[in-house]
Amino acid sequence: MLSLHPFSPKRARLSIAACGLAALAACGDNNLTGLPTVDLNLSRIAGFDNLKAALVQARGEANGGFNLDMWAAVVDRNGLVVAVVFTGATATDQWPGSRVIAAQKANTGNAFSLPHLALSTANLYAATQPGGTLFGLQESNPTNEEVAYGGDAADYGTRKDFMVGKRIGGINVFGGGLPLYDADGTLVGGLGVSGDASCADHNIAWKMRYNLRLDHVPAGVADNGKDDNIIYDFTNGVSASGFGHPECSAAATAIGEALPQTHPIGH
């Protein structure tokens, strides 16, 4: 019998072929109907179950934070929400406010990355502070509040989450948001993770993207232009690179700086 990596693009393609190009949220255990469609070649992004499994696996590792349960959201290249997932037993086992933050981070990672240049939300922190070259960016694309808070709260983080198939908007400029690049190097959307300290959010997001094999990053502002990793270079309140992020803990810093070695891009 053919054995596939649980997060492999081939497994995702087979899953999509079985379920058809219906809404990503409808492709899974319950085969729900009447859900909004997402304008994307869905074989490029894993289904709901794989997204949740990738988050659970990443959250279970040491990440330098408070070891809290997490939210994650994914948007497609058009900014439409593909899925919202969480790691706890119920939606209230993680900070309720982090659901929207995760979606904002996903939107930001997608909206401010390009096919040839990836920018994580962590990379945007320094430039968006008062006096920075991008100050005010965080106010430029408001969150759609009707999308963020609409629907039945009991559905949040499920395949029926009200956000799915809608454009959330929003900008967030601390760690936890990343663009997604498939095996062909195509920018297919953005991932956002929230629920812990911002540095741990970044570490978990990076590992989740790695688990999904959507980490074929072409270039970035970190690691000598190779990727979009978090940069810790603040001294006396000033980032040497202009793309830095404050440290949260020594453990989170050590884990974050090692990510290109422990979870290399394009694997």
- Per-domain boundaries in the chain: 9-262
Q: Is the pLDDT at 30 greater than 60, yes or no? A: no
**SS3 of 160, please?**
coil
pTM of structure: 0.86
The backbone torsions φ and ψ at residue 136, rounded to the nearest 5 degrees and listed phi first, read 100, -10
The dotted CATH code for 9-262 is: 3.30.450.150
Average pLDDT taken over every residue of the chain: 87
3-state per-residue secondary structure call for 38-53: CCCCHHHCCCHHHHHH
User: Cβ contacts of residue 146 below 8 Å, gap of 6+?
Assistant: none
Q: In the predicted model, is pLDDT for residue 9 greater than 70?
A: no
Query: What are 170-225's pLDDT values in tens digits?
Result: 999 999 999 999 999 999 999 999 999 999 999 999 999 999 999 999 999 999 99
- 50-82 burial code (b ≥16 CB/10 A, e <16): bbbbbbbbbbeeebbbeebbbbbbbbbbebbbb
Query: 213 in the Ramachandran plot: left (φ > 0), alpha (ψ -120 to 50) or beta?
Result: left
